[in-house]
Structure 1
Amino acid sequence: MPPQRPIALVTGGSRGLGAAIARELAPTHQLILGGRSAESLEPIAGELAAAPWPVDLTDYAAVEEAVAEIDRLDVLVHNAGVAELGTIEETSVDTWRWTFEANVIAVAELTRLLLPALRASYGHVVLINSGSGLRVNAGWGAYAASKFALRAFGDALRLEEPALRVTSIHPGRIDTDMQRALVATEGDEYDADRFLTPQTVARAVRNAIETPGDAHPTEIVLRPIPRRK
């Protein structure tokens, strides 16, 4: 029998960066693609012969039930997340809670539930963080705070689980539908050439995963270079 391909779970895999990561890993991995609904996952799962994994990551009872059959996991890519702009004065307590719930607490709980499966394969956890997890811009306070917390979570996980590899990836702004919405909120004109492509960031994820086992890629920082016309 041929050796079994490694198994990778990618959250937020239905579109944008998550779909790009899935396409990068599909040739070498068995894919489980997370998303909010079966309908949203159907096109990309069909394209890549991946297993759809529709679950609301902030519904922790549903998440616990959904991971019950995963007994081995080689790669866990935490890509799902949210962003809402606003000054400190404008940001409500509900927005703070929603941002941390999606970007930190849900990540921590899914990781915790999957630790036995990750330990079984000496797995790799990849956290899609942000440039905002390294520095703060005005109007991005809640989002940046959640990404600083996500970086701290990755650092703690790396210390507590030495059998695992844990990589925090800090990309600059990426050309996605979410980015279009953010730029519209800022009142700016959208120019995709100012931003990283999802494929570039996905390649960085694949490179981190494929790093030989004698090295631990702990952090990767990507900055966009304006593309020539």
Structure 2
Amino acid sequence: MTEKLALITGASRGLGAAFAEALAPEYHIVAVARTTGALEELDDNIQAKGGKATLAPMDITNIDAMAQLCRSIHDRWGKVDLWVHSAVHGAPLTPTNHIDQKDLDKAVSINVTATGRLIPFLSPLLGDTGHAVFFEDDRAGQKFFGSYGATKAAQIALARSWQAETVNTGPRVSILSPNGMPTGTRARFFPGEDRESLSNPRDEAARLLATLDL
């Protein structure tokens, strides 16, 4: 049987890590994130389930690194069966007229530009039978969410266009709506929130995966 491959961008923590663990051992996991230590912890969890992972500690905004990764995937596996894109930058909350240019530039680079580069890189590897998954978080227009809301909305707009364009040709493109989870990003957005009322990322990954018909 040909080994199935899942590429997880933003795999070091939160929903990305939970998806990686949930997909193993059915899929070989290629886990991409900047934090080496968190990736190594993820690898331990995947191995404990009898799965295998290839760790790719790199920045998705580095176009040369991502191009090389996709070439390496092509040379070794020839395809990607599933791409889960959970990488996101949660820019600090601030009044729109106080937005820091560096924060905005970083949000654009990670949330928009990198996504716009990765879709053309991954499309040939996904082919007509692969599946790409994105996660929406509709904060556009909410007060203090200027940088994050605008760039996350732009990311999902790219995904929706790709989804509409590939209905008849593939790959499948899914845009999922996670429930609130006690992640580091959410803690920065909502300090003091009752985290006990939020969904565990592993539970949320299981719920969302059940909707995908993989």
Normalised-by-shorter TM-score class: 0.7 to 0.9
Q: Give the 4+ runs in structure 1 shifted more than 6 A.
A: none
Ranges in structure 2 where 5+ consecutive residues have no aligned partner: 47-51
| Aligned match of 1:99 | 107
Structure 1 position 205 matched with structure 2 position 213: no
* Gap change, CA 1:175 and 1:79, over 3 Å in 2: same
Distance in 2 (CA, whole Å) between partners of 1:173 and 1:140 is 16
Name the structure 1 match of 2:63.
60
Q: Give the one of 175, 182, 203 matched to 1:175.
A: 182
Cα deviation for residue 172 of structure 1 reads 4.1
Say if 1:178 and 1:64 are closer, same or farther in 2 by CA, change over 3 A.
Answer: same
**Partner of 1:110 in structure 2?**
118
| Aligned pairs for 1:98-177 within 5 A | 98-119=106-127, 122-132=129-139, 136-161=141-166, 162-177=169-184
Residue of structure 1 equivalent to 2:89: 82
Structure 1 unaligned spans of 5+: 212-229
Q: 1:100 offset after TM fit, Å?
A: 1.5
Would the aligned equivalents of 1:55 and 1:66 in 2 still touch at CA under 8 Å? Answer: no
Using the size of structure 1 for normalisation, the TM-score is 0.81
Letter matched to residue 50 of structure 1: A
Give aligned pairs, total. Answer: 202
Question: Could you tell me whether the CA contact under 8 Å between 2:95 and 2:146 is conserved in 1?
Answer: yes
Matching residue of 1:222: none
CA contact (8 A) 2:12 2:35 kept: no
Cα distance, 1:68 vs structure 2 = 0.9
TM-score by length of 2: 0.86
Q: Map Cα deviations across residues 7-28 of structure 1 (whole Å, 9 max, x no partner).
A: 1011111122111111111132
Cα deviation for residue 109 of structure 1 reads 0.9
Shift of 1:59: 1.0
Conservation of the 8 A alpha-carbon contact between 1:10 and 1:22 = yes
Distance of 1:202 and 1:59 partners within structure 2? 27
2: distance between equivalents of 1:90 and 1:201? Answer: 34
Structure 2 residue 13 is matched with structure 1 residue 15: yes
Within the candidate set 4, 7, 10, 1:6 is matched to 4
Contact 1:124 1:209 in 2 (8 A): no
Question: Which one is further off, 37-46 or 59-68?
Answer: 37-46
Distance 1:196 1:166 in 2: 24
Letter in 2 for 1:170: S
Quick one: distance in 2 between partners of 1:201 and 1:102?
23
Q: Distance in 2 between matches of 1:4 and 1:206?
A: 21
Identical-residue share of aligned pairs (%)? 26
- The residue type equivalent to 1:164 in the other structure is P
Task: Name 2:40's counterpart in structure 1.
Answer: 42
Q: Is the CA contact (8 Å cut-off) linking 1:131 and 1:172 kept in structure 2? A: no
Q: What secondary structure, in the 3-state scheme, does the structure 2 residue paired with 1:196 have?
A: coil
